[in-house]
């Protein structure tokens, strides 16, 4: 006899404690998660593949471990969704792209993520989750190769926002965010290059953390832009996201950018007194283009922090206005280089041609979607002879100026508070044919990415979209100096306790 699926609505820590104590079994929790995915995901599209048998086997191993009297890990029996950019040895990995999906044989569907590339190894963060006794029921949908802000660029099907099925969930980690928002898994991993955890978290009313660059190993993460990519966590609350991040963070010798720095107690920081902390508010983030209702919700949250004993003062980040342009030069240049490996020779899709060059052309032409091709072309252009200094080198100089802006600001404040997004979740299809409008959806998250800083999105008061209708989630964006994830978690948790969004879930879920 199974347990009530509402156990999945418990916090990550509570659920792990229930399994550790034997009050519920990991198998029962996993079956509840698989049942919820089967009931809810057909309308949402959050999962590309579900490994039910493998998840049950992993959960049974957790229960057997407890029966032997062995200590269980910090994520014992907790189902965690994985963005499909993370390599898994026992499940397909497509990164949301045809390029990592072999061609159909007669009688097979034309495009099926189950035919995705099967890596011979796990990503470092997947190894960490398994070691902590987490259960991994499936791979989450995403914008192709992590390029997008709406999850409409998935080669397979778009993800829909559980708060309003006509609206985008954000991207590129939209599937991971929706898995958590819809209660299919209590937590999930995503990746964030320019906002791909924080923006979906804001759009779906979840908590999403992007750590300091180098805090979490990128080993086994399919690369988009190597100097920007970071793995981070989603959960329904700050404590849950903090616990998951604490498990996956730490030095890994297989990633040359991995930092050899102690991992502070992120979860333990939740509940820490925040009185006296200085919160900086950059007026550059409250300028033209920001929806007035979103601005009011975020300013109200900042006032809430003041009421908790924080001091609030203005700061200036003058080079913010150049961040979008600099990001889309740096990121696309790195994308052009990283994606050269997808050539039809070693893995994934191969489309035959009369010779090697023709095979490259045919494979990449068929395997990459429109947005990926756009970014490859842009990146190749800015790296080309005669344009490198004018674009790429100049963008890197701007990146340095953006980082210095933050360094200057953090001399007088402890955290910086801004909106996550200019609007609430926008309708599906509204921006997909307007790349510039789509790129501007990340205007507030890109600067922290360029600077390599830790940042978090935590829900604040929902607001109605411009045309009216039911209120939709809004995110408060908090940014801290490098390696100060614990401080972020403390401030975000303090706000969460008084947030009008606390405990809100999407209506109408089956």
Catalytic residues: 83, 172, 196
What is the b/e burial string over 355-369, where b = at least 16 CB atoms within 10 angstroms of the residue's CB? eeeebbebbbeebbb
Q: Please give the full DSSP string across 459-499, using - where no structure is assigned.
A: EEEEE--TT--S-EEEEEEEE-STT-HHHHHHHHHHHHHH-
- Given a contact cutoff of 8 angstroms between Cβ atoms, the answer to whether 417 and 476 are in contact is yes
Q: What is the CA radius of gyration of the chain?
A: 22
Q: Where are the alpha helices (DSSP H) in 208-355?
A: 238-248, 266-269, 292-307, 323-338
Q: What is the DSSP letter of 7?
A: G
Count of residues in the chain: 510
Cite the DSSP H helix spans in 45-160: 52-67, 124-131
Strand 187-192 and strand 230-235: the pairing is: antiparallel
Q: Are 184 and 37 in contact (CB under 8 A)?
A: yes
CA distance 130 to 74: 11
**Integer Cα distance of 215 and 258 in angstroms:** 6
- CA of 8: how far to CAs of 77, 180, 428, in Å? 11, 10, 28
Q: Which long-range contacts (CB under 8 A, 24 or more apart) does 13-21 make?
A: 13/239, 13/240, 13/243, 13/267, 15/77, 15/78, 15/186, 16/72, 16/74, 16/75, 16/76, 16/77, 16/78, 16/243, 18/77, 19/62, 19/66, 19/72, 19/76, 19/77, 19/78, 20/66, 20/72, 20/76
**Residue 345 DSSP one-character state:** S
Cβ atoms 302, 417 nearer than 8 A: yes
């Amino acid at each position: 006899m199974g347990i009530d699926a509402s156990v999945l609505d418990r916090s990550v820590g509570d659920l792990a404690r229930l399994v550790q104590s034997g009050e519920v079994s990991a198998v029962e929790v996993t079956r509840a998660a698989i049942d919820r995915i089967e009931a809810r995901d057909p309308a949402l599209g959050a999962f590309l593949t579900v490994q039910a048998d493998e998840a049950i086997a992993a959960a049974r191993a957790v229960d057997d471990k407890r029966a032997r009297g062995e200590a269980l890990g910090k994520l014992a029996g907790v189902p965690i969704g994985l963005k499909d950019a993370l390599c898994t040895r026992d499940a397909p990995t497509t990164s949301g792209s045809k390029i990592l999906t072999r061609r159909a044989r007669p009688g097979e569907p034309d495009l099926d993520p189950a035919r995705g590339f099967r890596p011979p190894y796990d990503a470092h963060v997947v190894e960490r989750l398994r070691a902590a006794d987490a259960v991994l029921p499936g791979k989450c949908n995403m914008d192709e190769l992590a390029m997008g802000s709406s999850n409409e660029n998935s080669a397979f099907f778009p993800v829909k926002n559980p708060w309003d099925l006509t609206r985008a969930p954000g991207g590129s980690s939209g599937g991971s965010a929706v898995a958590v928002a819809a209660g299919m898994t209590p937590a999930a991993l995503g990746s964030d290059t320019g906002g791909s955890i924080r923006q979906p978290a804001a759009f779906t009313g979840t908590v999403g953390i992007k750590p300091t660059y180098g805090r979490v190993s990128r080993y086994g993460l399919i690369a988009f832009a190597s100097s920007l990519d970071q793995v981070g966590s989603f959960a329904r609350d700050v404590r849950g996201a903090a616990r998951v991040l604490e498990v996956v963070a730490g030095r890994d010798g297989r990633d040359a950018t991995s930092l050899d720095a102690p991992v502070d107690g992120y979860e333990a920081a939740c509940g820490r007194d925040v009185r006296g902390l200085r919160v900086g508010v950059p007026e550059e983030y409250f300028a033209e283009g920001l929806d007035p209702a979103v601005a009011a919700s975020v300013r109200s949250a900042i006032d809430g922090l003041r009421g908790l004993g924080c001091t609030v003062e203005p700061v200036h980040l003058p080079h913010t206005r150049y961040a979008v342009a600099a990001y889309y030069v740096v990121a696309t240049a790195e994308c052009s280089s990283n994606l050269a490996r997808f050539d039809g020779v070693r893995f994934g899709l191969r489309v035959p041609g009369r010779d090697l060059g023709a095979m490259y052309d045919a494979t990449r032409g068929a395997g990459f979607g429109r947005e990926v091709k756009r970014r490859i072309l842009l990146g190749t252009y800015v790296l080309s002879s005669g344009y490198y200094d004018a674009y790429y080198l100049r963008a890197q100089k701007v990146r340095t100026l953006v980082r210095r802006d933050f360094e200057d600001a953090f001399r007088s404040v402890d955290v910086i508070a801004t909106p996550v997004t200019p609007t609430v979740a926008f309708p599906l299809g509204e921006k997909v044919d307007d790349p510039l409008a789509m790129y501007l959806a990340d205007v507030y998250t890109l600067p922290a990415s360029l600077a390599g800083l830790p940042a978090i999105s935590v829900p604040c008061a929902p607001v109605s979209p411009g045309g009216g209708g039911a209120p939709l989630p809004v995110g408060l964006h908090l940014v801290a100096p490098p390696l100060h994830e614990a401080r972020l978690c403390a401030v975000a948790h303090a706000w969460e306790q008084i947030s009008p969004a606390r405990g809100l879930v999407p209506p109408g879920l089956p």
